[in-house]
Chains A and B, each alone.
Chain A
Amino acid sequence: MAMNKKITGAVLVGICGTAAFLIIAVVVFVMGDTIIHGAGTLSWKFLSAAPSDGMTGGGIFPAIYGTFLLVIIMSAIGVPVGTITAIYLCEYAKQESIFSRTMRFAINTLAGIPAIVFGLFGLGFFVQFAGGTLDKLFSGEGNLIWGQPCLLWASLTMALLTLPVVIVSVEEAIRNVPRELREASLALGATKWQTIIRVVVPNSITGILTGAILAISRGAGEVAPILFTGAAYFLPQLPTKLSDQFMELGYHVYIMSTQSSDVDATKGIQYATTLVLLLLTFILNFSAIFLRYYMRKRARN
Chain B
Amino acid sequence: MSNTTQPVLKARFRLDEFLFEKSIATVAVISCVFIVLILLFVMRESLPLFLGKALDDIGPVKLSRVFDFSWIPVSNNPHYGIIPLFVGSAKVTFIAIFIAAPIAILAALYTTSFAPKWSKEILKPAIEILAGFPSVVIGFFALIVLASLLKNIFGWQYRLNALVGGVALSIAAIPIIFTVSEDALNAIPKTMVEASYALGATRWETAFFVLLPSAMPGIFAALLLGIGRAFGETMIVLMATGNAALLSPSLIDPVRTMSATIGAEMAEVVFGDAHYNVLFFIGVCLFAFSFTLNAIAELFVRGMLLKKMRGQ
| Contact call B136/A193, Cβ cutoff below 8 A | no
Which segment of A44-52, A220-228, A234-242 sits at the interface? Answer: A220-228
In the complex, which residues 1-27 of chain A have their Cβ closer than 8 Å to any Cβ of chain B?
A: 5, 8-9, 12-13, 15-17, 19-20, 22-24, 26-27
- Counting residue pairs across A and B whose Cβ atoms lie within 8 Å, the total is 297
CA distance A30 to B174 in the complex (A): 15
A103 within 8 A of B: yes
**Given A116-B262, A168-B309, A85 and B27 touching (CB < 8 A)?**
yes
In the complex, how many residues of chain A place their beta carbon closer than 8 angstroms to a beta carbon of chain B? 105
CA distance A220 to B137 in the complex (A): 12
B118 within 8 A of A: no
What distance in Å separates the Cβ of A247 from its nearest Cβ neighbour in chain B?
14
Chain A window 134-161, contacts with chain B (Cβ cutoff 8 Å), 1 for yes, 0 for no: 0000000000000000000000000010
In the complex, which residues 229-287 of chain A have their Cβ closer than 8 Å to any Cβ of chain B?
A: 250-251, 253-254, 257-258, 267, 270-271, 274, 277-278, 281-282, 284-285
Chain B window 273-312, contacts with chain A (Cβ cutoff 8 Å), 1 for yes, 0 for no: 0000001100100110011011100100001011001111
| Contact call A113/B239, Cβ cutoff below 8 A | no
CA distance A210 to B20 in the complex (A): 25
Residues of A within 8 A of B259 (CB): 114, 116, 224
What distance in Å separates the Cβ of A2 from its nearest Cβ neighbour in chain B?
10
In the complex, which residues 166-203 of chain A have their Cβ closer than 8 Å to any Cβ of chain B?
A: 167-169, 171-172, 174-179, 182, 186, 191-193, 195-196, 200
CA distance A289 to B127 in the complex (A): 12
B128 within 8 A of A: yes
Residues of B within 8 A of A93 (CB): 28
In the complex, which residues 76-125 of chain A have their Cβ closer than 8 Å to any Cβ of chain B?
A: 81-82, 84-85, 87-93, 95, 102-121, 123-125
**Given A30-B141, A289-B128, A278 and B134 touching (CB < 8 A)?**
yes
What distance in Å separates the Cβ of A107 from its nearest Cβ neighbour in chain B?
7
CA distance A271 to B141 in the complex (A): 9
Interchain CB contact (< 8 A) of A23 among B25, B127, B234: B127
What distance in Å separates the Cβ of B310 from its nearest Cβ neighbour in chain A?
5
| Contact call B136/A171, Cβ cutoff below 8 A | no
CA distance A30 to B138 in the complex (A): 8
In the complex, which residues 121-179 of chain B have their Cβ closer than 8 Å to any Cβ of chain A?
A: 122-123, 125-130, 132-141, 143-145, 171, 174, 178
**Given A24-B126, A193-B20, A270-B144, A116 and B137 touching (CB < 8 A)?**
no
In the complex, how many residues of chain B place their beta carbon closer than 8 angstroms to a beta carbon of chain A? 103
What distance in Å separates the Cβ of A249 from its nearest Cβ neighbour in chain B?
9
A63 within 8 A of B: no
In the complex, which residues 254-269 of chain B have their Cβ closer than 8 Å to any Cβ of chain A?
A: 259, 262-263, 266-267
B4 within 8 A of A: yes
A206 within 8 A of B: no
| Contact call B132/A124, Cβ cutoff below 8 A | no
CA distance A179 to B2 in the complex (A): 7
| Contact call B137/A34, Cβ cutoff below 8 A | yes
B31 within 8 A of A: yes
Residues of A within 8 A of B127 (CB): 23
Besides A107-B306, A114-B259, A193-B21, 8 new A-B residue pairs in contact (Cβ under 8 A), listed by A number: A19-B102, A33-B145, A34-B137, A106-B32, A114-B287, A123-B266, A182-B5, A193-B16
List of 6 A-B pairs having minimum Cβ-Cβ separation, nearest first: A114-B232, A221-B134, A88-B28, A16-B110, A19-B106, A285-B132
Taking Cβ atoms with an 8 Å cutoff, the residues of A that contact B are: 5, 8-9, 12-13, 15-17, 19-20, 22-24, 26-27, 30-31, 33-34, 81-82, 84-85, 87-93, 95, 102-121, 123-125, 128-129, 160, 163-165, 167-169, 171-172, 174-179, 182, 186, 191-193, 195-196, 200, 217, 220-224, 227-228, 250-251, 253-254, 257-258, 267, 270-271, 274, 277-278, 281-282, 284-285, 289, 292
Taking Cβ atoms with an 8 Å cutoff, the residues of B that contact A are: 1-5, 7-8, 11, 14, 16-17, 20-21, 24-25, 27-32, 34-35, 37-38, 41-42, 44-45, 102-104, 106-107, 109-111, 113-115, 119, 122-123, 125-130, 132-141, 143-145, 171, 174, 178, 202-205, 208, 225, 228, 231-235, 238-239, 259, 262-263, 266-267, 271, 279-280, 283, 286-287, 290-291, 293-295, 298, 303, 305-306, 309-312
